[in-house]
Amino acid sequence: MVSRKDFSDWCAETLQTALFKDYAPNGLQVEGKAYIGKIATSVTASKAAIDFAVEQKADLLLVHHGMFWKNEPPTVTGWKKERIAALLRHDINMAAYHLPLDAHPELGNNAQLAEKLGFTVERRFGEQNLLNSGSLKQVRTLGALAAHIEAVLQRKPAVVGDLNREIRKVAWCSGGAQGFFQTVIDEGVDLYLTGEISEAQYHLANETGTAFISAGHHATERYGVRALGEAAAAAFGLEVCHFDENNPA
Ligand SMILES: [Zn+2]
């Protein structure tokens, strides 16, 4: 067992949350019981994830996407009321770590994704150092790399570029980071991998020759929160369980 406060302090210290400017509060978002013996992890604090935490008798739901985003209405109505009511009814804490969890050099989404996909991290750059660049441990064509990503992440990526082209240098950022594509083009890599694509990136990829892979927002952010949950469980001797949804986005 660990107190809610010690758990939150450990997360803040481990993830260096104070160093980030974010769009939602990092840390405890909904307060539950004072002591935690079991954690459930999920990418998002969805109703399905909360129901899983209830079923598992978890004392804390640890997520990457919490609630209370910057441009969201501040009212507690509709789906938000249902989520919060379920947490409060069962006295379950909900803690969320967003950008600090993308960026952490070992537990973060970007670091975990690199490990899963066989990328070596050479440099962190761009806004709040959220972008990573490095090399493929094994040089592959764009087509072969896309097939490898599909096999690892269990989801078919959207690919823009010449499938026969050899990929050596790659930049990546988990989640909805397609807006960083120009910064990546300026970095001079062969490929940018992120979780989402918008209309403009198709043209930029074709016109600049920097290949683009959109591998799924959820699929690229599955691993950080699990790693954080495992690390916290090891640090405090807690039980941990993981929830995954078949989210195609
Ligand atoms: Zn995200």
Q: Which long-range contacts (CB under 8 A, 24 or more apart) does 143-150 make?
A: 145/191, 145/213, 146/213, 148/117, 148/118, 149/117, 149/193, 149/213, 149/215
Q: Any known ligand binding at 91?
A: no
**What was the pLDDT predicted at 220?**
97
Do 210 and 107 share a structural domain?
A: yes
- 214 and 190, same structural domain? yes
Instruction: With respect to residue 27, please indicate whether it lies within any of the assigned structural domains.
Output: yes
The reply, when asked if residue 90 is annotated as ligand binding, is no
pLDDT of residue 134: 97
Which tokens in the block code for residue 94? 């909900």
For residues 149 and 48, state if they share a domain. no
Distance 237 CA to ligand 1 centre (A): 28
The pLDDT, as a whole number, for residue 143 is 98
Joined together, the tokens standing for residue 155 give 């989801």
Task: Give the domain range for residue 238.
Answer: 2-97+222-242
102 known ligand binder = yes
**pTM > 0.75:** yes
- Separation of alpha carbons 247 and 49, rounded Å: 12
Amino acid at 94: M
On whether residue 58 sits in a domain, the answer given is yes
Q: How far is the CA of 236 from the centre of ligand 1 (A)?
A: 27
pLDDT at 142: 98
Contact 53, 241 (CB under 8 A): no
User: Is residue 90 located within the same domain as residue 137?
Assistant: no
How far away, in angstroms, is 164 Cα from ligand 1 center?
30
Question: 2-3 and 158-160: which strand pairing?
Answer: unpaired
Alpha carbon 119 to its chain's center: 17
Into how many domains does the chain fold? 2
> How much is the pLDDT for 202?
97
Between the CA of 126 and the centroid of ligand 1 the distance, in Å, is 17
Q: Which residue has the tokens 């481990």?
A: 14
Q: Is residue 249 part of a domain?
A: no
Closest C-alpha among 11, 22, 166, 168 to residue 94: 11
Ligand 1: centre distance to CA 233 (Å): 23
Using the mean position of ligand 1's atoms as its centre, give its distance from the Cα of residue 144 in Å: 26
In a domain, 247, yes or no: no
Q: Both tokens of residue 166?
A: 């050899």
64 is in an annotated binding site: yes
Residues 158 and 208 in one domain: yes
User: Can you give the pLDDT of all 249 residues of the chain as single tens digits?
Assistant: 999 999 999 999 999 999 999 999 999 999 999 999 999 999 999 999 999 999 999 999 999 999 999 999 999 999 999 999 999 999 999 999 999 999 999 999 999 999 999 999 999 999 999 999 999 999 999 999 999 999 999 999 999 999 999 999 999 999 999 999 999 999 999 999 999 999 999 999 999 999 999 999 999 999 999 999 999 999 999 999 999 998 999
Find the 175 Cα to ligand 1 centroid distance in Å.
Answer: 4
Residue 98, sorted as left (phi over 0), alpha (psi -120 to 50) or beta, turns out to be alpha
85 and 141: one domain?
A: no
Q: Are 234 and 244 in contact (CB under 8 A)?
A: no
128 and 185 in a single domain? The answer is yes
pLDDT at 91: 98
Q: How far is the CA of 248 from the centre of ligand 1 (A)?
A: 13
Determine the distance separating the centroid of ligand 1 and the alpha carbon of 81, expressed in angstroms: 22
Whether residue 42 is found in the same domain as residue 68: yes
Q: What pLDDT, on a 0 to 100 scale, did the predictor assign at position 90?
A: 98
Output the domain CATH number for residue 128.
3.40.1390.30
How confident is the model at residue 124, as a pLDDT?
Answer: 95
pLDDT, residue 26, reads 98
Which tokens is 66 given? 């919490």
156 CB-near residues (< 8 Å, 6+ apart): 150
For 228, how many CA atoms within 13 A lie in the half-sphere containing its CB? 37
